[in-house]
Amino acid sequence: MLKVGFKELLAQANSAIESVAVQDLPYLMDEPDVVIVDVRDGMEREAEGAIPGSIHASRGMLEFYADPECPAHKTEFNLANRLVLYCGTGGRSALAAKTLQDMGFTDVASLAGGFAAWKVLNSDPK
Model confidence at 98, pLDDT cuts 50, 70, 90, reads: very high
Mean pLDDT value of segment 33-48:
97
Tell me the domain boundaries of the chain. Answer: 16-121
pLDDT at 123: 83
Q: Which residues contact 4 (CB under 8 A, 6 or more apart)?
A: 12
Q: pTM of this prediction?
A: 0.94
E strands, the chain, where? 18-20, 34-38, 55-56, 82-86, 108-111
Model confidence at 99, pLDDT cuts 50, 70, 90, reads: very high
- Mean pLDDT for the chain? 96
Mean pLDDT value of segment 22-39:
96
CATH number of 16-121: 3.40.250.10
